[in-house]
Structure 1
Amino acid sequence: MANRLDYTYRRLVNALGPGRVARGAFETFVYGHDFAAIPKAAEFQFKVAPDFVVLPRTTEEVVRLVGMQAENLLPLVPRGGGTGLYGGSVPNRGGVLVDFRKMNRVLKVDAATRTMVVEAGCTWQDAYDRALAAGLFLPVYPQFALGSTIGGWINSGGVGFGANKYGTARDLLLNLEVVLADGRTVLTGADRVDLGTSHLNLGPLVWGSEGTLGLVTKATLRLYPKPEEIRPLAYAFPSLDDAVPALRALAALPVAPYHVMLIDASHLQFLKAVRYEAPEPTAMLLVVFEGPKDEVGEGEKLADAAMKANGGGKVAAETAKRLWENRLYQYPTRRIANGLVICEGVVPLGKLKDALAKTRSLQRAMKMEVALTGQLVDANTVALYPYFLDDETSPLPPMRLGFVIKWRELLMDQGSPIGEMLGRSEVERPLQGHPMGVGLFLAFNVPAMHGNAHRFFPAIKDAFDPNGRINFGKMHQIRTRFGFPGLRRIPLMIAALPFKVLGAVKAIIPKQDRFVRKYTGEGRAR
């Protein structure tokens, strides 16, 4: 094995040069996790550190790397900025991790067609800035836009800023350049002709595939005219439950808000622990309008009236401006602990109150500090992001991760009601929600997330990657570091069991989490 790895290293260095190939323990360790807190126990099941890290600069070099995989038989794992939440860009069996951050150029901004062509390793923030400099607007981008790359978020899917007015990143996709497992390069659409989401465009198939179908190297994105003004407004409520009627009113406004963010008091309490200037903890709605000044002004009048009619109090303009300016720095509380875990899911707007109640019931049952934010996805859908602190350096089993499993099940109305933990059931009405993200651990959710459609996922993977060369062992199965029969994969039916058991133990232990209170001096004023 050592000789094969040494030979592979020499081949990679010959292809890319010594400065863009790494195999040292420190370099590979850094790539053994993403934004998610990967528990130490995971290293017994998965080889999360890659054997090699490579940084290609061109599509031709990516094609060369794919061709070399047939020789070394090491899996290829694509990675962008490492801002994923569930380990989608983390290896499960080592291999060659392809870091795309050297492919970070904005190749073209075309004002005539309102499009831009960018390489996969360009961050969304850089693409946004280049579009603005050309008098255009990239309206949709992720909450980790400073580090999240174009290819990374396209592969991850999800919703981001601007979704309420402009849709998801999938709605911006005109064309993708993708290197397939056999070394061929394919264009999924066209740069100038909008093929939409019809059968003529393969882009939506790649979107959200978590890097399992091919290596995205370039993207052509749709742009919009630069807005004359972007105006954030903030409104305070006693609780998010009290803000739900106001949220319905916002969804029905004739002037659609560009972005609507839900902020729970617990989130501001988390922020207050590390930022003195953060607003006092209370539930808030951050409402943002963009466009011509007269349209923005009309939107503000309509929002003011709707919020006042539903019990909301308008917050100072400076506070709203600060919240919007800090929108890409939502999780500074991570510095309190050695890890932070974010859950993602969507629920119908009509089920939001039930979703909030179930989330808080689960939090109390597991004696955890859980903060919550969210956003209006469209007139009928809300995305929720509960998150909590954890210590990924601890050798102890990750009991708090049981919250992730249980919360996702609550969204999908799976399993027993929450009363199995509490001894009673506070809310029993189904949520009809949907969790987001699969990554390294959560493939056991896929059958419930996608119903009968999940049966076709292995066939789609085999059509694109019959030999399992690219990010293999994810999405529809969980492959481990072992090559022995019986150990090489974890049956989906039992994959969640350890997390559920640990979550139940966490609920039994009388100790309440105190990450934030400990940091602020047990809650005393500083």
Structure 2
Amino acid sequence: MKTSLSNQTKEKFHALFGRGVRFNDTERIVYSHDMGVIPKQIQKMFNNIPDGVFQPKSREQIIELMEYVSKENIPVIPRGAGTAGFGGSVPTKGGIVVDMVRMDRILNIDVADKTCKVEPGAIWAHVEKAVGEHNLALRLFPSSANSSTVGGWTAQGGSGYGSYEYGRFRNNIAEVELLQPDNKIVKLSGDKLDFVYSLCGITGIILSVTFRLREKSEESVCLTSFGKLENAIRFLNLLRENNIPLWNVTFSTPGLTSLKQQASGHRILDERLYHITMVMPKNRQQKYDAAIKELLAGTQGIMLGYDKAKEEWDDKFFPMRFKKLGPTLIASEVVNPIKNIDKFINEIENRFKSKFALEGTMVGPDKMAMLGFMLSDERKLGFPLAYANSLDVIETSEKYDGEPFSIGMYFTGKAERIFGREKLLKLWKYKLSVDPNEIMNPGKIVPSSLDKNSPTKMLGMAMKMAN
């Protein structure tokens, strides 16, 4: 495969980093995509094949890298585990993908302050185990916790299990250490987290993340079912109105339940019903158990047995299990206000029937992050049309005051709507001040209306055409 790097440049990389940097075609292809799959017709609009892959072992190596690529104007694409599907870690102009997998140390656990400081490549499941030894627990974590990284979630932005009580991950970050392209290390906290959180690494490479923890406690899990969507949504609204202090609330449509059980071959839930799973510390259960049962009775909901509830909750880390039914899984992820969520779900279900399965996680009591799945086959000619359905879900979400879960590469045209113009201009000004040559993950977050050099300026038009 072609590369924009000269042999002399490759030799310099090898002299600096030895076997930590690689240029073979196989690895370059592996790092040319994330969990998302897009039609080849769209891929041709930018150069998603990196020129090389670097796995640093220390911050000193990252500083050396940044010093060299800044002089040579070589694009740099930071990468966590690649478990997201918004193109945030996908190259657009070749360059060097910096895979943080080897920088996975837990640097400090402060029991008194209930905080944990880690390197960006630390995997969430490993962190949970480590803090658990100090009688602490994560406040929240992504559904991909078995493989996704702390740095990746910081760069991608988002919510997950535990977000009913603790909101988005940003609300729980104490500090981020960032190496800027000008080779300055800055510590960002409070409002300054805006310059790193959910920006996909366009302002620098994350060196460490410090985030807040909670006390470890035994969990109480409750699984409920509803025959009608309106009753399930009414129940969610009543949970909010009655201030039931849950830690996590997840929601699944009949289509999602059917897909999961088809993949596992184990059918324990009625595939005609909507299901809501609630989790709270066990020491809260006795106080609020009667109130929850009363709310269920008023919304024609049924509380299922503990064994079913535990099995459903224990299965939370395997949302992609049904990918084997595809072989391609088309995903679409949005965040919608709970006040309109029934209209959004109704329209998606009526349009796609059971073909598009939806799973939701509450983000606070007022919003729901919804992940939708559709099975397809990228090898077939009809795949671009099937892919367009995922974009249709985004448009439908916006119709009911929702927005994409993340911007990444594919939704830069929606950045102003998500950030607001004032904040977007502030981010762009900061980006140019630390990265005037735009080597950090080009083509992400900032729309081409601001970034005239964006390598993905044709992508927005193509996405609209696909829809």
Q: TM-score range by the shorter chain?
A: over 0.9
**What residue in structure 2 maps to residue 208 of structure 1?**
198
1:448 shift after superposition: 3.4
**What residue in structure 1 maps to residue 391 of structure 2?**
405
Superposed counterparts of 1:254-333, under 5 Å:
254-278=243-267, 279-281=269-271, 282-292=273-283, 295-333=284-322
Return the letter of the residue paired with 1:463. Answer: S
Flag structure 1 segments of 5+ consecutive residues without an equivalent: 190-196, 414-430, 480-484, 501-526
1:322 shift after superposition: 0.8
**What residue in structure 2 maps to residue 494 of structure 1?**
461
Q: 2:402 aligns with which of 433, 437, 441?
A: 433
Give the SS at the match of 1:385: strand
Post-superposition Cα deviations, 1:228-278, rounded to whole Å, max 9, x if no partner, equal x20111011114333111111122334311111001110111012111224
Partners of 2:392 and 2:405 in 1: how far apart?
14
Partners of 1:151 and 1:493 in 2: how far apart?
27
1:394 shift after superposition: 4.2
Partners of 2:195 and 2:27 in 1: how far apart?
32
Superposed counterparts of 1:361-510, under 5 Å:
361-363=350-352, 369-394=355-380, 398-413=384-399, 431-453=400-422, 454-477=424-447, 488-491=455-458, 494-500=461-467
Number of aligned residues: 461
Partners of 1:30 and 1:478 in 2: how far apart?
27
Do the aligned partners of residues 218 and 91 (structure 1) sit closer, same or farther apart at CA in structure 2, a change above 3 Å counting? same
Give the SS at the match of 2:104: coil
Q: Is the 8 A contact 1:272 1:280 kept in 2?
A: no
Q: Is the 8 A contact 2:362 2:369 kept in 1?
A: yes
Query: Mean alpha-carbon deviation: is it higher for 87-96 or for 252-261?
Result: 252-261
Give the SS at the match of 1:41: helix
CA RMSD of aligned residues (A): 2.2
Return the letter of the residue paired with 1:139. Answer: R
Partners of 1:139 and 1:97 in 2: how far apart?
30
Superposed counterparts of 1:210-225, under 5 Å:
210-225=200-215
Query: Mean alpha-carbon deviation: is it higher for 247-256 or for 319-328?
Result: 247-256
**What residue in structure 2 maps to residue 181 of structure 1?**
181
Give the SS at the match of 2:409: coil
Give the SS at the match of 1:45: coil
Query: Mean alpha-carbon deviation: is it higher for 485-494 or for 55-64?
Result: 485-494
TM norm structure 2:
0.93
**Structure 1 residue 108 corresponds to structure 2 residue 108:** yes
Return the letter of the residue paired with 2:275. Answer: M
Post-superposition Cα deviations, 1:45-91, rounded to whole Å, max 9, x if no partner, equal 12212110000011111111111103432200000011011111010
Give the SS at the match of 2:370: strand
**What residue in structure 2 maps to residue 63 of structure 1?**
63
Do the aligned partners of residues 497 and 222 (structure 1) sit closer, same or farther apart at CA in structure 2, a change above 3 Å counting? closer
Give the SS at the match of 2:264: coil
Q: Is the 8 A contact 2:154 2:197 kept in 1?
A: yes
**What residue in structure 1 maps to residue 96 of structure 2?**
96
Partners of 2:381 and 2:18 in 1: how far apart?
38
Give the fraction of aligned pairs with identical amino acids, expressed as a percent.
23
Post-superposition Cα deviations, 1:102-123, rounded to whole Å, max 9, x if no partner, equal 0001111121221111000001
Partners of 2:56 and 2:380 in 1: how far apart?
34
Q: Is the 8 A contact 1:251 1:378 kept in 2?
A: no
Do the aligned partners of residues 374 and 6 (structure 1) sit closer, same or farther apart at CA in structure 2, a change above 3 Å counting? same
Partners of 2:107 and 2:68 in 1: how far apart?
27
1:489 shift after superposition: 4.7
Partners of 2:28 and 2:142 in 1: how far apart?
26
Post-superposition Cα deviations, 1:155-200, rounded to whole Å, max 9, x if no partner, equal 11111110111222112211111110111111114xxxxxxx3x4x
1:138 shift after superposition: 1.0
**What residue in structure 2 maps to residue 26 of structure 1?**
26
Return the letter of the residue paired with 1:392. Answer: E
Do the aligned partners of residues 40 and 478 (structure 1) sit closer, same or farther apart at CA in structure 2, a change above 3 Å counting? farther
Do the aligned partners of residues 410 and 101 (structure 1) sit closer, same or farther apart at CA in structure 2, a change above 3 Å counting? same
Q: Is the 8 A contact 1:170 1:204 kept in 2?
A: no
Return the letter of the residue paired with 1:383. Answer: A
Partners of 1:54 and 1:372 in 2: how far apart?
36
Partners of 1:489 and 1:3 in 2: how far apart?
18
Q: Is the 8 A contact 1:177 1:219 kept in 2?
A: yes
Partners of 1:16 and 1:70 in 2: how far apart?
16
Query: Mean alpha-carbon deviation: is it higher for 273-282 or for 486-495?
Result: 486-495
**What residue in structure 2 maps to residue 504 of structure 1?**
none
Flag structure 2 segments of 5+ consecutive residues without an equivalent: none
**What residue in structure 2 maps to residue 423 of structure 1?**
none
Return the letter of the residue paired with 2:164. Answer: N
Return the letter of the residue paired with 1:57. Answer: K
Query: Mean alpha-carbon deviation: is it higher for 253-262 or for 52-61?
Result: 253-262
Q: Is the 8 A contact 1:477 1:492 kept in 2?
A: no
Do the aligned partners of residues 493 and 179 (structure 1) sit closer, same or farther apart at CA in structure 2, a change above 3 Å counting? closer
Return the letter of the residue paired with 1:353. Answer: D
TM norm structure 1:
0.83
Q: Is the 8 A contact 2:23 2:51 kept in 1?
A: yes
Return the letter of the residue paired with 2:231. Answer: D
Return the letter of the residue paired with 1:390. Answer: S
Partners of 2:77 and 2:198 in 1: how far apart?
15
Partners of 1:393 and 1:492 in 2: how far apart?
21
